[in-house]
Structure 1
Amino acid sequence: MSAPAWIAPTALAALAVWVWLLLFRGLFWRTDQRLPPGAAPPAAPGDWPDVAVVVPARDEAGILPDSLPSLLAQEYPGRAGITFVDDNSTDGTGDLARALAERYGGLPLRVVTPGEPPPGWTGKLWALRHGIEQVRAPASGDGPEFLLLTDADIAHAPDSLRTLVAAARTGGYDLVSQMARLRVVTGWERLIVPAFVYFFCQLYPFRRVNRARGRTAAAAGGCVLLRSSAADRAGVPEAIRGALIDDVALAGAVRRSGGRIWLGLADRVMSVRPCPGLPELWRMVSRSAYAQLRRDPLILLGAVAGLVLVYLVPPGAVVAGALTGDRVALLAGGAAWAVMTATFLPMLRYYGQPAVFAPALPFIALLYLLMTVESALRHHRGRGAAWKGRTYRGAGAPAAERGADG
Structure 2
Amino acid sequence: MSLLVDVGPLRTSPHYRRLWFGNTVSWVGQGMTALAISLQVYDLTHSTFSVGLVGLCSLVPLVVFGLYGGAVADTVDRRLLGLGSAIGSAVLSLALASAAFAGFHHVWFLYAIVALQAVCAALNSPARSAMIPRLLEPAQLPAANALNSMTMTFGTLVGPMAGGLIVGFWGYQAAYTIDAVAFCASLYAMWRLPSMLPDRVGAKRASVLDGLRFLGTRPNLRMTFFSDFCAMILAHPRALFPAVAAAWYGGDARTTGMLVAAPAVGAFLGGLFSGWQGKVHRHGLAVLIAVSAWGTAVAVFGLTRQLWLGLLFLGLAGAADTVSMVFRNTMLQVAAPDEMRGRLQGVFIVVVSGGPRLGDFLAGSVADLASPTVAATGGGVACVVAVVLLGLKWRGFARYDAREPTP
TM-score by length of 1: 0.25
Bigger helix fraction:
2
Greater gyration radius: 1
TM-score by length of 2: 0.25
Bigger strand fraction:
1
